[in-house]
Amino acid sequence: MTAPPADPFGVYLHIPFCSKRCDYCAFATWTDRHHLIDAYLDALLVDIGRHAGADHRRSMPVADTIFVGGGTPTLVDPHALAAVIAAIPRTAGAEVTVECNPDDVTPEMMRAFAEAGVNRVSIGVQSMVPQILLSLGRTHVPANVERAVDAVRCAGISTFNLDLIYGGAGERLADWERTLAGALALSPPHISAYALTIEAGTPLALEPERHPDDDDLADKYELADAMLADAGLANYEVSNWARPGHECRHNLVYWHQGDYQGFGCASHSHRSGRRFWNVRTPDRYIDLVGRDESVEAAGEELPADERRLEGLQLQLRLREGVERSVLAGEELPGLVELHGERWVLTQRGRLMANEVSLRLR
């Protein structure tokens, strides 16, 4: 893989359409607005063109990473999505990722993506156990994951991620082990494994009997860490494991407080210390782009001390950890350990990363 630039710039494209909302999802997605897809993609093209053009008020650097998320990007026509991706000026070695629903993936779709320069996909697996997929409100079956991975490889896409979630209702430790084993059997270069979280306003939030148990989540994290490490995938962020050279460069932009530009409704941006986000609905986004008005809903600029602390909190989650001087690590036995002159989270510390971050100074 091409070495990333020292100060990379990222672009995020939000595709807000879904066929079904998962029970745990609180993202800005819609299941009833598919009639807007064509107009939305057209609006993305116009918005990107304005930022990529000569208008200095909206100009942006050439992208080193592009990430297409959602929602479900694979619901839209792959050639139309490829045209949107192609409109973004990017470096020769740019990482270009598209999130994929296993149900939607076809060899033709992956070929269209590959021709557009997509060199990384992230497949929403969540579980390899059918009853756990049902408990999460997912619609695919494990066989579709295997088919999707085959299509990715046949298209020559150089790397991919399998996205997993643990802690679903009724999931035993043996079920999670089955999911990990099934995922690893596909020899992925990258796996993300997230604990199920309860988001306000979701169907899951209204059913306490389905909420995960903290001790159970800890057991499953430890199992994942052991199995993934044995398979040659190193933990480089609390919830992410990869083979060398396959770390997600786009997410590293976020974790290093780098600059990025979001396009589409509800997408977020960060430029020179200022964060801002777009209007939430696709209808409003299309309307504002059509009237050549700003799509920004609001923004904020963190004071320098808050920005520094936030940066340390993000660094602590990464493999390289934080400088010795910013954390009283001696007071946190078993949670951090010294690697040279940097404090790095232990496995137990990764389970308590939020608590450890409160001790940063």
User: 228, 191 in Cβ contact below 8 A?
Assistant: yes
Segment among 96-100, 134-138, 177-181, 224-228 with least mean pLDDT: 134-138
Return mean pLDDT, the chain.
Answer: 94
pLDDT of 270 > 60? The answer is: yes
Q: Residue 3: its pLDDT value, please?
A: 52
13 and 120 in a common domain: yes
Per-residue pLDDT of 321-359, as tens digits, reads 999 999 999 999 999 999 999 999 999 999 999 999 999
Query: Which tens digits make up the pLDDT trace of 127-139?
Result: 999 999 988 888 7
Q: How close are the terminal C-alpha atoms of the chain, in Å?
A: 36
Say yes or no: 31 and 180 in one domain: yes
Degrees, nearest 5: CA angle 63-262-198: 125
Q: Say what the pTM is.
A: 0.95
Q: What is the mean pLDDT of residues 194-208?
A: 87
* Backbone torsions φ then ψ of 194, nearest 5 degrees: -115, 140
**Gap between the Cα atoms of 287 and 174, Å rounded:** 50
Listed residue (49, 118, 95, 18) closest to 263, CA to CA: 49
Question: What's the mean pLDDT in 136-162?
Answer: 93
> Which residues partner with 273 through β-bridges?
none
Asked if residue 161 is part of any domain, the answer here is yes
Given this model, what pLDDT does residue 253 score?
A: 98
Quote the Cα angle for 281-47-273, to 5°.
85
Which CA distances in Å does 241 have to 42, 188, 306? 36, 10, 29
pLDDT for 4 beyond 60? no
Query: Can you tell me the mean pLDDT for 13-37?
Result: 91
Residues 315 and 237 in one domain: no
Same domain flag for 249 and 310? no
**CA distances from residue 278 to 284, 293, 321 in whole angstroms, order as listed:** 10, 12, 32
Same domain, 241 and 347: no
Q: How far apart are alpha carbons 94 and 28 in whole angstroms?
A: 27
Looking at the 3D structure of the chain, how many domains does it have?
2
Do 309 and 250 lie in one domain? The reply is no
Calpha distance 98→24 (Å, rounded): 21
204: CB partners within 8 A, 6+ apart: 23, 24, 196, 198, 210, 211
For CA atoms 228, 234, 235, 236, give the dihedral sign: negative
CATH of the domain at 245: 3.20.20.70
Q: Is residue 271 in a domain? A: no
Residue-number span of the structural domain to which 50 is assigned: 9-254
**pLDDT band at residue 217, thresholds of 50, 70 and 90?**
very high
Query: Are 250 and 324 found together in one domain?
Result: no
Q: Residue 288 falls within a domain, yes or no?
A: no
Do 224 and 344 share a domain, yes or no? no
Together in a domain, 231 and 103? yes
Task: Say if residue 210 is in the same domain as residue 325.
Answer: no
Give the end of a domain, one of 216, 233, 254: 254
User: Which residues have a Cβ under 8 Å from the Cβ of 56 and sit 6 or more positions away?
Assistant: none
Which are the contacts of 246, defined by CB distance < 8 A and separation ≥ 6? 1, 159, 189, 190
Q: Is residue 282 assigned to a domain?
A: no
CB 179 within 8 A of CB 173: no
